[in-house]
Structure 1
């Protein structure tokens, strides 16, 4: 059962209260899981129980996504705000320097957490921020189209489409290589999350000028990319390796942009291997 926690974050207008929904399972060193834009913590469900055999897993609904409320004004959805929010969230849970794994937007956040040395290790699955301008425009246009389609579909239609593999491909095939493997409930939840995410537009706007250009020294980093990623093309992984030369670059054969459901065993192994490099 997921839980919520509220905590104070400093802003230009004084302290603001942020509330975050999260799921926590397992034992061991803490491992924070961060989803992509429009997603929710349940995107990690295929791998959580595997990871929980070795880690205290905390899967987060980022502010403005899933069941987490929007950030209160004047807090923004940029890296300079969300990274301190995540640090404050960990502090509220009594967690110091967790391992972190993130997908897409979550991968970018994970790398920034590593760059400022707030985590023990980083595993970034198809992280944002290594695009060319043309690739960024393509990705953002695709995300906006996905959001528009999700918002245009009545819930009964979403539920009807979710009942077949072909329908789940219509709903989620842009980000999954094997959308038929999703459960109907997961396909519905992800489509509704994308439709209803209060932080979507501001997060996308904040990402318009984002490029990750700095190394992440003194923190073990793994960058993994699906061979069938159609949103952030896998050549961006090569750029990530150039920016972070000490990173381990891993190919995820047969996986799409959100690889956790496409190959749970492989993704779990990559994350656990990456976190072992930073174990204390």
Structure 2
């Protein structure tokens, strides 16, 4: 059973966090979303409070899909809307391609790197981030009391990490350390997204203009590979944009999961 929580009412919207993050990444936009959606937050396997990631048959993607389908079954979700950030965006695209969801909204999805050197940069960044999280763990609770220090320490991940409360920032760093074993299983299996998404499933791809992990030129690759999608810039936002500008991100998520949007595309 994956750790999860459900808020609000209306059209179901499942939110998927990124690699080494946790479901609380969505808290900055939760209240705005829950006014109009039944919002499902959960921790991916090996992340947050969920059980460790177990890879069956050496297939990471199939194992993550099975975990997602298990959550849908547990919560009686029949073709919900889905949205995801980074790895969560990739999972959302895969769910759309597999016909599991009625729409997919992605924030800087981990899906459109150019080739091996490009992906090496991403992997190096995560190795640096997780190594730093381990080395700095004893000092983080004290350092993070300063908004300026939070902004410096979180600069690769968010553009305005100084807006993240102290206790949340500290817990995010703990969550990053907890997810290292899962990260080490996920990275070797990573490939660019190449699946076909059914034409009746609306896709939104939004990119933080200050993303320092999946660099903004990935958005140009996404436009070429998925011209049918609705492409959006998240102005003033980094890789994990929810705390950078909650209002802007919530609008993108609500528009991407709007029933009228899905009906128009269908």
**Match in the other structure for 1:119:** 101
- Choose which of 245, 262, 265 in structure 2 pairs with 1:278: 262
Counterpart of 2:2 in 1: which secondary structure?
Answer: strand
Q: Deviations over 1:67-104 (max 9, x none)?
A: 11103464657222211220121111111111000000
- Choose which of 147, 150, 157 in structure 2 pairs with 1:175: 157
- Choose which of 102, 116, 122 in structure 2 pairs with 1:139: 122
Counterpart of 2:82 in 1: which secondary structure?
Answer: strand
**Match in the other structure for 2:112:** 130
**Match in the other structure for 1:7:** none
Counterpart of 1:223 in 2: which secondary structure?
Answer: strand
**Match in the other structure for 2:196:** 215
Alpha-carbon offset, residue 23 of structure 1: 1.8
- Choose which of 149, 154, 160 in structure 1 pairs with 2:137: 154
Mapped to 1, the partners of 2:83 and 2:242 lie a distance apart of 11
- Choose which of 147, 159, 163 in structure 2 pairs with 1:165: 147
Alpha-carbon offset, residue 108 of structure 1: 0.2
Is the contact between residue 99 and residue 278 of structure 1 (CA under 8 Å) also seen in structure 2? no
Q: Are positions 1:41 and 2:23 aligned together? A: yes
Mapped to 2, the partners of 1:141 and 1:77 lie a distance apart of 23
Q: Deviations over 1:13-37 (max 9, x none)?
A: xxxxxx2001210000110000010
For structure 1, which segment, 119-128 or 83-92, has the greater mean C-alpha deviation from structure 2 after superposition? 83-92
Mapped to 1, the partners of 2:167 and 2:99 lie a distance apart of 37
- Higher RCO (CA 8 Å, separation ≥ 6 residues): 2
Q: Are positions 1:267 and 2:249 aligned together? A: yes
TM-score using structure 2 length:
0.93
Alpha-carbon offset, residue 125 of structure 1: 0.3
Q: Are positions 1:240 and 2:222 aligned together? A: yes
Does the C-alpha gap of structure 1 residues 75 and 67 become closer, same or farther in structure 2, counting only changes over 3 Å? farther
**Match in the other structure for 2:234:** 252
Q: Stretches of 4+ moved more than 3 A in 1?
A: 72-77
Mapped to 2, the partners of 1:245 and 1:261 lie a distance apart of 28
- When the two structures are aligned, how many residues end up with a matched partner? 259
**Structure 1: tracts of 5 or more residues without a match:** 1-18
Does the C-alpha gap of structure 1 residues 227 and 73 become closer, same or farther in structure 2, counting only changes over 3 Å? closer
Give the CA RMSD over aligned residues.
Answer: 1.5
For structure 1, which segment, 82-91 or 31-40, has the greater mean C-alpha deviation from structure 2 after superposition? 82-91
Mapped to 1, the partners of 2:173 and 2:11 lie a distance apart of 32
Counterpart of 2:127 in 1: which secondary structure?
Answer: helix
**Structure 2: tracts of 5 or more residues without a match:** none
Is the contact between residue 56 and residue 63 of structure 2 (CA under 8 Å) also seen in structure 1? no
TM-score using structure 1 length:
0.89
